[in-house]
């Protein structure tokens, strides 16, 4: 990963050791395999996300960039290097480190054809905001930037952070529309910092 070593997640969910093996018979081979498969460290998804040194380095650089007013920063890694798990922890820690700064997580999708209204709709959904009725892109654009502006004012912040996973799937047009959102927020003296996580295709 550029800027740091590979991000290595430790996935799983927290379970109390006593309840997990309360009736475990070590001679029961079938039960033993079931317990192993269900162990928190063996699960593909869940609550475990340990701050490994590469992840801490990434978080430190991201927070420093945000505080310096950098409009964006990108991290690139090949698939299965732990980007999604890293994003989950980074999103949580950014809010703590920056005194409640709003952080929006978004997973980009690849579409055969770029559509402005759909782009704003997907960002609204990622922001847990209602999509206005109809299909007018202008209405969705206004709902998006005003919603983000409101979040920033409510938390008495001066910035909002957008973390995009699978950023290589966004088209050039979609990046242009995102700039439009950043520009109108800048007019309101609010900075939008975009943190991109993507596969090597993003470099192109």
Q: How many CB atoms lie within 10 A of CB 26?
A: 9
pLDDT score for 48: 54
Q: For the chain, what are the domain ranges?
A: 53-203
* Residue carrying the six token digits 């820690």: 93
Question: Between 169 and 89, where is the model more confident?
Answer: 169
Residue 110: which residues within 8 A CB-CB, separation 6 or more?
169
What is the model's pLDDT at position 14? 37
Give the mean model confidence (pLDDT) for residues 40-48. 52
pLDDT at 155 over 70: yes
Instruction: Note the pLDDT of residue 84.
Output: 72
pLDDT of 8: 43
pLDDT in the model for residue 50:
60
Architecture of the domain spanning 53-203? 3-Layer(aba) Sandwich (3.40)
- Percent of the chain scored above 70 by pLDDT? 75
Q: What would the mean pLDDT of 10-23 be, rounded to a whole number?
A: 42
Q: Report whether 158 contacts 149 (CB < 8 A).
A: no
DSSP-based three-state secondary structure for 56: helix
CA dihedral 43, 49, 51, 53 (to 10 degrees): 40
pTM (two decimals): 0.72
Q: For position 28, what pLDDT does the model report?
A: 73
Beta bridge partners of 72: 194
pLDDT at position 200 is 82
The residue with greater pLDDT, 7 or 132, is 132
SS3 for 68-132 is CCCCEEEEECCCCCCHHHHHHHHHHHHHHHCCCCCEEEEECCCCCCCCHHHHHHHHHHHCCCCCC
**Element at 196 (helix H, strand E):** strand 191-198
The string of pLDDT tens digits covering residues 75-131 is 887 766 567 777 777 887 887 788 878 999 999 999 999 999 999 999 999 999 999
Say which range, 19-23, 27-31, 196-200, has the weakest mean pLDDT: 19-23
Q: How confident is the model at residue 26 (pLDDT cuts 50, 70, 90)?
A: low
Average pLDDT over residues 44-55: 61
pLDDT higher at 35 or 204 = 204
| 3-state SS, residue 31 | helix
Q: What integer pLDDT is reported at residue 18 of this predicted model?
A: 40
């Amino acid at each position: 990963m550029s800027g740091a070593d590979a991000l290595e997640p430790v996935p799983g969910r927290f379970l109390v050791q006593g309840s997990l093996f309360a009736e475990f018979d070590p001679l029961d081979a079938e039960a033993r395999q079931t317990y192993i498969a269900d162990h928190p460290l063996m699960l593909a998804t869940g609550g475990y996300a340990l701050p490994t040194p590469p992840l801490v380095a990434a978080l430190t650089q991201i927070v420093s960039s945000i505080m310096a007013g950098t409009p964006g920063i990108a991290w690139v890694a090949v698939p299965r290097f732990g980007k999604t798990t890293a994003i989950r922890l980074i999103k949580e820690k950014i809010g703590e480190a920056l005194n409640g700064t709003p952080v929006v997580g978004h997973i980009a999708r690849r579409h055969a054809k770029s559509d402005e209204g759909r782009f704003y709709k997907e960002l609204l959904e990622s922001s847990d905001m209602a999509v206005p009725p109809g299909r007018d892109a202008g209405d969705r654009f206004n709902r998006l930037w005003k919603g983000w502006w409101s979040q920033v004012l409510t938390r008495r912040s001066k910035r909002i952070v957008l973390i995009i996973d699978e950023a290589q799937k966004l088209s050039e047009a979609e990046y242009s529309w995102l700039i439009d959102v950043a520009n109108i927020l800048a007019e309101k003296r609010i900075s939008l910092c975009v943190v991109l996580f993507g596969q090597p295709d993003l470099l192109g």
